[in-house]
């Protein structure tokens, strides 16, 4: 049980670091409120290179976080 909680803690730390490494894809809240001219929610933005790899790793770690969280709640 304690080992599972440690694994969950490590996964959550990795997930936080990965999301901080990723760059912002929009103008943020100020652009949403003021209706920024360049903001298009449904625009096709393709990730390339390292950005795509970090995005895929973040998705995998997020799924692992979700699964380990459910597993930890039942044990």
pTM value? Answer: 0.68
- Say what the pLDDT of residue 54 is: 92
CB count within 10 Å of CB 44 equals 5
- Say what the pLDDT of residue 17 is: 95
Tokens of 47: 């990730």
- Choose the weakest-confidence range: 7-11, 14-18, 43-47: 43-47
User: Can you give the residue ranges of every domain in the chain?
Assistant: 2-74
In whole angstroms, give the CA distance from residue 8 to residue 2: 10
- Say what the pLDDT of residue 44 is: 64
Instruction: Label residue 75 by pLDDT band (50, 70, 90).
Output: confident
Q: What is the DSSP string of 12-69?
A: HHHHHHHHHHSPP-S--HHHHHHT-TT--TT------THHHHHHHHHHHHHHHHHHHH
In whole angstroms, give the CA distance from residue 49 to residue 55: 10
């Amino acid at each position: 049980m304690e080992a599972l909680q440690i694994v969950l803690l490590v996964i959550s730390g990795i997930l936080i670091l990965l999301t901080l490494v990723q760059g912002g894809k929009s103008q943020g809240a100020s652009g949403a409120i003021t209706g920024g001219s360049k903001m298009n929610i449904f625009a096709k933005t393709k990730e390339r290179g390292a950005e795509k790899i970090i995005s895929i790793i973040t998705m995998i770690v997020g799924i692992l976080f979700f699964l380990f969280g459910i597993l930890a709640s039942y044990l």
